[in-house]
């Protein structure tokens, strides 16, 4: 393990990230939030100093970036950015403790959307913008932006990209990994611009449109309104549904569509399952709302469909916006929402969760083994989209599922031990929501509540779960393996 090259790359990333804090200056000037200026200056100074120190430690190294260094760089980059991005929130007074600030920033940069803030609209608008901007940066991945804007890293760039990419997706779309990163950044930024202009055209203010556009495509969920998406009318909510759906769809399919492959979405088995999960969840919620008289009286007709579809998409895509308090819905609705929390969007998207492709693989593996038991002499192969699935992919999927389940169980037990008086469903949904980067859970951490009542140790645990979920566990877990540091 060559720690010097890791220090150099993480230091570069921090020095590139520091000037982004200047984006708060126009909002500080416009709304005259002069007290935030000092917070920005302090945060930038610390970020630059820390980044420069790391860079100087590793500036003379010339060794090539191998897999271990790539893993360490990605892991430490996300940890460092979560800490640094908490500084404006802490120094600016949005959070009373650094624990709360770290929770808020980690939730932002991992596009989780969980918050410790009881009221958003009373907070400084420059810091509200900063929260939304963290979604924007974390949506596609800080390392993808890093590769796109810094000089070509050669084979090391491919290693970094592969370790940061979410889900078992193809390694690249173009021969040069920097071109891939640039294409993804262009598409991501372009979609954000389109979303911003659409929201602006529909009557939202510049600030509302900007904050929500950055949250929608990143499938984050931070809103600058206390009522979240419920603050806006039905037409705006349908636009939210569309862009959440786009953000959680594999960006590789978007690129193929732009290049003229107009049927690419329907050729994808993962996309078809993704749509089926959304439609199935929305149907269950809509029917349950329709037949539940107490809800139907106050929420008639098309509202049931819109609320059912919106709640399904916001959970499946791991965005976390809310239109209503679904924690007040019938038991079957709450159970459906809890089940949907385990899905996630497509691989290669900005969403969190297990990813639909893994659910598809698990289904195919189960069906394969059942079929083999029935006809053991028949030769079979596992395929997705007509391509054979190799044994390594199957092995990785099964290991991921086991580790994901083990983390959920262990975290639920620890949080339940610390928060003994807390309802069990609150504990379970809080853990599931954070590790799958969803945002709101149920009961005391529901869509109209927040995480401020959680104990300090629990907030640190949940913050770590957000990072684990965003990096799909292994990138961070491997850092705790002794063999990772002792052998090449």
* 3-state SS record for 82-111: HHHCHHHHHHCCCCCCHHHHHHHHHHHHCC
Report the distance separating Cα 73 and Cα 67, nearest Å: 10
Collapsing DSSP states into helix, strand and coil, what is residue 383? strand
What would the mean pLDDT of 69-77 be, rounded to a whole number?
Answer: 87
486 vs 68, 159, 367, 423, CA distance in Å? Answer: 11, 20, 41, 44
| Residue 171: per-residue pLDDT | 46
Query: Does residue 449 carry a pLDDT above 80?
Result: yes
DSSP string, 311-378: HHHHHHTT----SS-GGGS-HHHHHHHHHHTTT---TTSS--SS-HHHHHHHHHHHHHHHHHHH-TTS
Task: Note whether 149 and 17 are within 8 A (CB).
Answer: no
Query: Does residue 174 carry a pLDDT above 60?
Result: no
Q: How confident is the model at residue 164 (pLDDT cuts 50, 70, 90)?
A: low
Share of the chain above pLDDT 90, in %: 61
| Residue 301: per-residue pLDDT | 46
Query: Does residue 15 carry a pLDDT above 90?
Result: yes
Report the distance separating Cα 225 and Cα 161, nearest Å: 35
Q: How confident is the model at residue 297 (pLDDT cuts 50, 70, 90)?
A: very low
Task: Specify which residues 388 forms β-bridges with.
Answer: 383
Instruction: For residue range 314-342, list pLDDT tens digits in order.
Output: 999 999 998 888 888 889 999 999 999 99
26 burial type by CB count under 10 A (0-12 exposed, 13-18 middle, 19+ buried): exposed
Q: Residues 476, 478, 482, CA angle at the centre, nearest 5°?
A: 135
Task: Note whether 436 and 358 are within 8 A (CB).
Answer: no
Q: pTM of the prediction?
A: 0.92
Query: Does residue 53 carry a pLDDT above 80?
Result: yes
The set of residues, in sequence order, having a beta carbon less than 8 Å from that of 262 and lying 6+ positions away, is: none
Share of the chain above pLDDT 70, in %: 89
Q: How confident is the model at residue 147 (pLDDT cuts 50, 70, 90)?
A: low
Q: pLDDT: is 7 or 177 the higher one?
A: 7
Task: Specify which residues 387 forms β-bridges with.
Answer: 384
The set of residues, in sequence order, having a beta carbon less than 8 Å from that of 476 and lying 6+ positions away, is: 75, 79, 467, 468
Query: Does residue 413 carry a pLDDT above 70?
Result: yes
Query: Does residue 72 carry a pLDDT above 80?
Result: yes
Q: How confident is the model at residue 141 (pLDDT cuts 50, 70, 90)?
A: confident
Residue 319 token pair:
């965005």
**HSE on the CB side for 160, CA within 13 Å?**
31
> Which is nearest to 354 in space by CA: 391, 409, 400?
400
- Low-confidence winner among 19-28, 145-154, 410-419 (lowest mean pLDDT): 145-154
Task: Note whether 84 and 130 are within 8 A (CB).
Answer: no
Report the distance separating Cα 99 and Cα 78, nearest Å: 17
| Residue 74: per-residue pLDDT | 87
What is the distance in angstroms between the CA of the first residue and the CA of the last residue of the chain?
6
Phi/psi region, residue 388 (left: phi>0; alpha: psi -120 to 50; beta: rest), is beta
Report the distance separating Cα 266 and Cα 458, nearest Å: 42
Residue 248 is inside which H or E element, if any? none
Residue 463 token pair:
């913050």
| Residue 67: per-residue pLDDT | 78
For tokens 């930038």, name the residue. 44
Report the distance separating Cα 445 and Cα 166, nearest Å: 26
DSSP string, 194-244: HHHHHHHHTT--HHHHHHHHHHHHTT----SSTTGGGGS-HHHHHHHHHHH
Q: What is the largest CA-CA distance in the chain?
A: 76
Q: pLDDT: is 379 or 10 the higher one?
A: 10
């Amino acid at each position: 393990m060559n720690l010097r090259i890791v220090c150099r790359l993480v230091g570069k990333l921090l020095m590139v990230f520091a000037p982004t804090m200047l984006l708060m200056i126009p909002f500080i000037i416009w709304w005259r939030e002069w007290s935030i200026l000092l917070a920005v200056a302090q945060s930038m100074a610390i970020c630059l100093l820390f980044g420069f120190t790391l860079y100087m430690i590793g500036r003379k190294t010339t060794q090539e970036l191998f897999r271990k260094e790539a893993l360490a760089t990605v892991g430490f980059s996300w940890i460092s950015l979560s800490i640094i991005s908490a500084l404006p929130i802490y120094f600016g007074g949005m959070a009373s403790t650094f624990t709360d600030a770290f929770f808020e920033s980690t939730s932002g940069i991992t596009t989780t959307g969980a918050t410790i803030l009881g009221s958003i609209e009373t907070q400084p608008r420059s810091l509200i913008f900063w929260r939304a901007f963290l979604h924007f940066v974390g949506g596609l991945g800080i390392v993808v932006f890093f590769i796109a804007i810094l000089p070509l890293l050669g084979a090391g760039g491919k290693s970094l990209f592969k370790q940061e990419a979410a889900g078992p997706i193809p390694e690249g779309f173009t021969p040069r990994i920097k071109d891939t990163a640039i294409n993804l950044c262009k598409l991501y930024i372009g979609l954000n611009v389109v979303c911003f202009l659409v929201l602006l055209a529909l009557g939202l203010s510049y600030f509302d449109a900007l904050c929500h556009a950055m949250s929608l495509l990143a499938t984050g969920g931070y809103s600058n309104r206390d009522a979240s998406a419920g603050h806006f009318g039905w037409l705006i909510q349908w636009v939210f549904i569309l862009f959440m759906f786009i953000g959680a769809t594999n960006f590789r399919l978007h690129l193929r569509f732009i290049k003229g492959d107009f049927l690419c979405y329907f050729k994808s088995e993962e996309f078809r399952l993704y749509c089926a999960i959304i439609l199935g969840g929305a149907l269950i919620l809509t029917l349950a709302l329709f037949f539940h008289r107490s809800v139907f009286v106050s929420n008639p007709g098309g509202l049931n469909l819109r609320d059912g579809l919106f709640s399904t998409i916001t959970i499946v895509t791991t965005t976390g916006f809310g239109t209503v308090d679904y924690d007040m819905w019938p038991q079957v609705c709450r159970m459906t929402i809890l089940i949907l929390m385990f899905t996630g969007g497509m691989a290669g998207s900005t969403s969190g969760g297990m990813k639909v492709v893994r659910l598809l693989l698990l289904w195919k593996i189960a069906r394969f083994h059942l079929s083999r038991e029935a006809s053991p002499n028949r030769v079979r192969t596992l395929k997705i989209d007509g391509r054979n699935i190799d044994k390594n992919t199957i092995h990785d999927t099964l290991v991921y599922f086991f580790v994901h389940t083990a983390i959920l169980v262990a975290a639920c037990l620890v949080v339940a031990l610390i928060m003994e008086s807390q309802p069990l469903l609150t504990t379970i949904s809080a853990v599931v929501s954070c590790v799958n980067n969803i945002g709101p859970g149920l009961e005391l951490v529901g869509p109209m509540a927040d995480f401020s009542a959680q104990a300090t140790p629990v907030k640190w645990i949940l913050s770590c779960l957000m990072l684990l979920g965003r990096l799909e566990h292994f990138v961070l877990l491997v850092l705790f393996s002794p063999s990772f540091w002792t052998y090449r």
